[in-house]
Amino acid sequence: MHNYVPPYTISDKMLKLVSDISEKVGSMNSHKELESRPRLRRNNRIRSIHSSLKIEANSLSLSEVRNVINGHLVLGDQIEIQEVKNAYEAYKKIPEINPTSIDDLKKLHGIMTDHTINESGIFRTGEEGVFSGDECIFIAPPSHMVSELMNDLFSWVKKNEEVVHPLILSAVFHYEFVFIHPFADGNGRIARLWHTVFLYRWRSVFEYIPLESQIEKYQAEYYDAIAKSHVNGNSDVFIEFMLEMIDQILDEVISQIRKSNADTTEYIKRMLDVMEFDVPYTSNAIMAALGLKSKETLRKNYINPAMELGVIRMTLPDKPNSRNQRYIKQ
């Protein structure tokens, strides 16, 4: 086994981002902000799954992914539906995974790709390329080199997990993993999940931070950072990109928490408790969930004050009285 050391250099920008992220996570942990919000945690988990699959061209919408996870009937491509079920099971394993174990990696890949590909839970036997859409960014190393390259990478991780900051180590691993592309399919999904596993081992709050949704927003930049790192021969650009994504998604989650901590009335709190994030609700559906009979009461005590606080929004803001109006918790 070689003493492989992934090429990267710590920059001032990286150090600043690590410091900022650590401060934000420390604040969240000290107040156990996500532990008391099961709906927010579940919503973020669903967002993670939807976004990671969407990056890999799964066409199911967020609401369809939610319905699959909730056990509801969804009409669609059966492979895509199976991918959602697999991802949900895989993400539930985050607390159990040893990120320095190749056996755990293969087991998780087996869960992630169950009943969707032939080479599930084993390293690839064919040749692969890394693609952004239809564009090939680079050709992965030959299949006969995969086992040795993965052993070298995991050996480096084991030697450095107590030395290199997890925010840096996770990004280095992510890039190196994508470069090796050890599986026939599902490499991106596993790379992003493994990144979260490293972060979870550092701070448990990351189990429910939807990092994948931030990457999906900047998907082109994600692949561009991979391509630039490949050309440069080191992962510096990719590390900085991933740190920026983590910093930004933490800002979003902290904003969610602050909104739910706002000086809301008991009426608004009751309404928010019966609504899930990003799901459109009719006024009748909200009334039924709250046990109300008067639309005027709903508007006066619930909808209007919640709109003023910015904790819900209309799907048709220009047509407040439309029959097609829906309300979304945000």
Domain with residue 311: its CATH number is 1.10.10
Answer yes or no: is 89 within a domain: yes
Q: Express as a percent the part of the chain with pLDDT over 90.
A: 76
Q: Look at residues 231, 260, 289 and tell me which one is the last residue of a structural domain.
A: 260
Looking at 235, 260, 285, the residue that finishes a domain is 260
β-pair partners for 314? 327
278-286: average pLDDT: 94
CB distance 79 to 116 below 8 Å: yes
Please tell me whether residues 319 and 228 are part of one structural domain: no
Residue type, 191: A
pLDDT > 70? residue 92: yes
Total domains present in the chain? 2
Residue 84 lies in domain: 12-260
- Angle between helix axes 102-112 and 78-91 (nearest 10 degrees) is 140
* 5 within some domain: no
Contact 246, 21 (CB under 8 A): yes
- 4 inside domain: no
Residue 53 CB partners (closer than 8 Å, separation 6+): 60, 65, 80, 83, 84, 87, 189
Picking from 214, 233, 260, the residue at the C-terminal end of a domain is: 260
pLDDT of residue 58: 96
- In the beta sheet, which residues pair with residue 280? 328
Judge whether 242 lies within some domain: yes
- 1 within a domain of the structure (yes/no): no
The predicted-structure confidence for 181-203, as pLDDT tens digits, reads as follows 999 999 999 999 999 999 999 99
**Phi, psi of 43, deg, nearest 5:** -60, -40
Give the full edge-to-edge strand order of the sheet including 280-281.
280-281, 327-329, 312-314
Determine, yes or no, domain membership for 110: yes
233-277 confidence digits (pLDDT tens): 999 999 999 999 999 999 998 887 776 665 567 899 899 989 988
Let me know whether 289 and 247 are in one domain. no
**Whole-structure pTM value:** 0.83
- Look up the CATH number of the domain holding residue 95: 1.10.3290.10
> How many other CB atoms are there within 10 angstroms of residue 15's CB atom?
13
pLDDT at 277: 86
Considering only 63-67, 87-91, 167-171, which range has the smallest mean pLDDT? 63-67
